[in-house]
């Protein structure tokens, strides 16, 4: 039987405010255990939460970027359950009136656009972190993470494949990054994605039994886990079995999902409105202020890059993958570099250098104006593109300008025909056999002779001129 997968995503992202959502403690990630804590986030007796305004600002910004309706009036609620990582034994969250509702995100898979419904995005506090490796048969709780602001973004069950899940998460990450709302670091846990997966016969209207995949530590892992889970559902159903509603984990080493927790019944969290916090009223003026402050979002920037700079869809997508990359590209173009060349250098050699040194483009030692300067030297024939590669490497390592490097190392291209001819004649004289081969019709030998000239000039020969002069000399009887 042919099946269709139905997938909904729940994504938790830590919002990168400087202080926690209900107290003034730092949200820094790698502080020693229990150092970014105070009576409020430790749930000491008598303390009260105070909502971080920046959290509301960033949530509204994300909501607007996801085409959500922003609730004029919303509130926080208490979600009650007992666990040692939850200081108050209730989590302050949003239940029936989330700040952002009914949005959508358009994703692209294989050139087609699909609209994914966003059910809601709501604010809550992160929990502490339990560790069971402190020895002595004891468990430890690190409250540094307790009270870090979290945004939970929930989709409609609109996704149909693992590729769509990957595209959705990538786009979502991009948007969050453009908004400077989250670091989206899946390894550090600042982005946690859970997938609800079910399958049904193609054409069926009702939903199949779902399983929930949790605790996957990478974007590719989520995609693979979803892929695996879809195949597992289909296999089980085809074999006449039934799917059990449960939470499943992902074993990345073995590449399979495994049962973690059977859902006995829906958990009763005894939700009720948080009496310690006033309702959140985001009026039109507030929403408008945030709307006006939104940066150009990835989709818009992508299509503008194609239109304005004449880039291919593919190049535009790569260059807009992160806001920093797109800013870098535009700054380079603004310094006068040819956009297509700038794009090639950034996506090619520069990206390779960054990857090699595990560096983010925001920390790139070659500033956009320096890159533009290097490209200008190629444009005006001072250096060849080949030399440019070396020069860029040197710039990256030393932070010097292209011109300084070219001058210091005497890398200026030989564009003087007479000077070049002298070298060429020498090469012809030293390689009579190859010259004879060429003249008798073996034109492939030309590459060897060019290489010899390049070697003799330490690569500084102007390639076009070299070609012209060499051919002219070879044709001479």
User: With respect to other proteins, which residue has the nearer C-beta, 51 or 186?
Assistant: 51
CB of 333 to other proteins, least distance (A): 47
Phi first, then psi: give them for residue 271, nearest 5 degrees: -55, 140
Using rule CB under 8 A, residue 268 touches other proteins: yes
3-state secondary structure labels for all residues of the chain: CCEEEEEEEEEEEECCCCECCCCCCECCCCCCCCCCCCCCCCCCCCCCCCCCHHHHHHHHHHHHHCCCEECCEECCEEEECCCCCCCCCEEEECCCCCCEEEEEEEEEECCEEEEEEEEEEEEEECCCEEECCCCCCCCEEECCCCCCEEEEEEECCCECCHHHHHHHHHHHHHHHHHCCCCCCCCCCCCEEEEEEEEEEECCCCCCCCCEEECCCCCHHHHHHHHHHHHHHHHHHHHCCCCCCCEEEEEECCCCEEEEEEECCCCCCCCCEECCCCCCEECCHHHHHHHHHHCCCCHHHHHHHHHHHHCCCHHHHHHHCCCHHHHHHHHHHHHCCCCHHHHHHHHHHHHHHHHHHCCCCHHHCCCCHHHHHHHHHHHHCCCCCHHHHHHHHHHHHHHCCCHHHHHHHHCCCCECCHHHHHHHHHHHHHHCHHHHHHHHCCCCCHHHHHHHHHHHHCCCCECHHHHHHHHHHHHHCC
User: With respect to other proteins, which residue has the nearer C-beta, 268 or 292?
Assistant: 268
Measuring CA to CA, which residue among 81, 180, 148, 158 is closest to residue 113? 158
DSSP bridge pairs for 103: 118
CB of 279 to other proteins, least distance (A): 10
Using rule CB under 8 A, residue 84 touches other proteins: yes
Using rule CB under 8 A, residue 472 touches other proteins: no
Measuring CA to CA, which residue among 76, 88, 73 is closest to residue 52? 76
As a whole number of angstroms, the distance between CA 211 and CA 243 comes to 8
Using rule CB under 8 A, residue 43 touches other proteins: yes
Using rule CB under 8 A, residue 136 touches other proteins: no
CB of 40 to other proteins, least distance (A): 9
User: With respect to other proteins, which residue has the nearer C-beta, 275 or 410?
Assistant: 275
Q: Of the ranges 42-50, 300-308, 419-427, 431-439, which one interacts with other proteins (CB under 8 A)? A: 42-50
Using rule CB under 8 A, residue 49 touches other proteins: yes
User: With respect to other proteins, which residue has the nearer C-beta, 266 or 433?
Assistant: 266
Q: Of the ranges 86-94, 254-262, 378-386, 433-441, which one interacts with other proteins (CB under 8 A)? A: 86-94
Using rule CB under 8 A, residue 272 touches other proteins: yes
Q: Of the ranges 102-110, 268-276, 353-361, 462-470, which one interacts with other proteins (CB under 8 A)? A: 268-276
Using rule CB under 8 A, residue 271 touches other proteins: yes
Using rule CB under 8 A, residue 90 touches other proteins: yes
Site size toward other proteins, by CB under 8 A = 29
Using rule CB under 8 A, residue 134 touches other proteins: no
Using rule CB under 8 A, residue 270 touches other proteins: yes
Using rule CB under 8 A, residue 78 touches other proteins: yes
User: With respect to other proteins, which residue has the nearer C-beta, 141 or 148?
Assistant: 141
Using rule CB under 8 A, residue 264 touches other proteins: no
Measuring CA to CA, which residue among 210, 148, 190 is closest to residue 18? 148
Q: Of the ranges 155-163, 267-275, 413-421, 464-472, which one interacts with other proteins (CB under 8 A)? A: 267-275
Using rule CB under 8 A, residue 45 touches other proteins: yes
User: With respect to other proteins, which residue has the nearer C-beta, 52 or 211?
Assistant: 52
User: With respect to other proteins, which residue has the nearer C-beta, 92 or 169?
Assistant: 92
CB of 63 to other proteins, least distance (A): 22
Q: Of the ranges 44-52, 57-65, 177-185, 248-256, which one interacts with other proteins (CB under 8 A)? A: 44-52
Interface residue with other proteins, options 1, 32, 82, 110 (CB under 8 A) = 82
Using rule CB under 8 A, residue 275 touches other proteins: yes
- Strands 191-201 vs 129-131: parallel, antiparallel or unpaired: unpaired
Interface residue with other proteins, options 18, 28, 35, 39 (CB under 8 A) = 39
Q: Of the ranges 43-51, 202-210, 219-227, 345-353, which one interacts with other proteins (CB under 8 A)? A: 43-51
As a whole number of angstroms, the distance between CA 474 and CA 429 comes to 11
Q: Of the ranges 167-175, 226-234, 270-278, 451-459, which one interacts with other proteins (CB under 8 A)? A: 270-278
Count the alpha carbons within 13 Å of 187 in the hemisphere toward its beta carbon: 1
User: With respect to other proteins, which residue has the nearer C-beta, 44 or 359?
Assistant: 44
Using rule CB under 8 A, residue 258 touches other proteins: no
Q: Of the ranges 46-54, 297-305, 331-339, 399-407, which one interacts with other proteins (CB under 8 A)? A: 46-54
Binding residues (CB under 8 A) for other proteins: these are: 39, 42-51, 78, 80, 82, 84, 87-90, 141, 266, 268, 270-272, 275-278
């Amino acid at each position: 039987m042919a099946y269709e997968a139905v997938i909904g995503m729940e994504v938790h992202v830590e919002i990168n405010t400087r202080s926690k959502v209900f107290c003034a403690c730092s949200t820094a990630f790698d502080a020693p255990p229990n150092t970014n804590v105070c009576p409020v986030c430790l749930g000491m007796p008598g303390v009260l939460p105070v909502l971080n305004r920046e959290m509301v600002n960033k949530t509204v910004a994300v909501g607007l970027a996801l085409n959500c309706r922003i609730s004029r009036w919303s509130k926080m609620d208490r979600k009650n359950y007992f666990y040692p990582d939850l200081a108050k034994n209730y989590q302050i969250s949003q239940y029936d009136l989330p700040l952002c509702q009914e949005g959508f995100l358009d994703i692209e898979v294989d050139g087609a656009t699909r609209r994914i419904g966003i059910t809601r995005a709501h604010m809550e506090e992160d929990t502490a972190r339990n560790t069971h490796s402190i020895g002595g048969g004891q468990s430890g709780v690190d409250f540094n993470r307790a009270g870090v602001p979290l945004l939970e973004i929930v989709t409609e069950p609109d996704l149909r494949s693992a590729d769509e899940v990957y595209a959705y998460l990538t786009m979502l990450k991009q948007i969050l990054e453009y908004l400077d709302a989250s670091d989206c670091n899946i390894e550090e846990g600042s982005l946690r994605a859970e997938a609800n997966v079910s399958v049904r016969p193609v054409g069926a209207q009702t939903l199949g039994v779902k399983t929930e995949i949790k605790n996957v530590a990478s974007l590719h892992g989520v995609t693979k886990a979803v892929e695996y889970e879809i195949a597992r559902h289909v296999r089980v159903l085809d074999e006449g079995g039934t799917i059990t509603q449960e939470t499943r984990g992902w074993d990345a080493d073995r590449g399979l999902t495994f049962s973690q927790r059977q859902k006995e019944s829906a958990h009763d969290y005894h939700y009720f409105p948080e009496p310690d916090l006033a309702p959140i009223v985001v009026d039109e003026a507030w929403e408008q202020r945030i709307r006006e402050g939104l940066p150009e979002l990835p989709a818009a920037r992508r299509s503008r890059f194609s239109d304005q700079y004449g880039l291919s869809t593919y190049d535009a997508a790569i260059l807009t993958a992160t806001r920093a990359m797109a800013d870098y590209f535009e700054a380079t173009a603004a310094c006068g570099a040819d956009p297509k060349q700038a794009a090639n250098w950034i996506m090619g050699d520069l990206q390779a250098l960054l990857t090699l040194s595990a560096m983010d483009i925001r920390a790139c030692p070659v500033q956009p104006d320096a890159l533009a300067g290097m490209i200008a030297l190629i444009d005006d024939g001072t250096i060849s593109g080949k030399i440019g590669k070396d020069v860029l490497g040197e710039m990256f390592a030393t932070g010097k300008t292209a011109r300084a490097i070219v001058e210091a190392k005497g890398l200026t291209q030989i564009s003087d025909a007479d000077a070049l001819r002298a070298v060429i004649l020498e090469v012809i004289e030293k390689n009579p056999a190859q010259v004879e081969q060429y003249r008798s019709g073996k034109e492939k030998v030309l590459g060897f002779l060019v290489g010899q000239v390049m070697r003799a000039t330490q690569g500084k020969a102007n390639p076009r001129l070299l070609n012209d002069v060499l051919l002219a000399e070879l044709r001479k009887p």
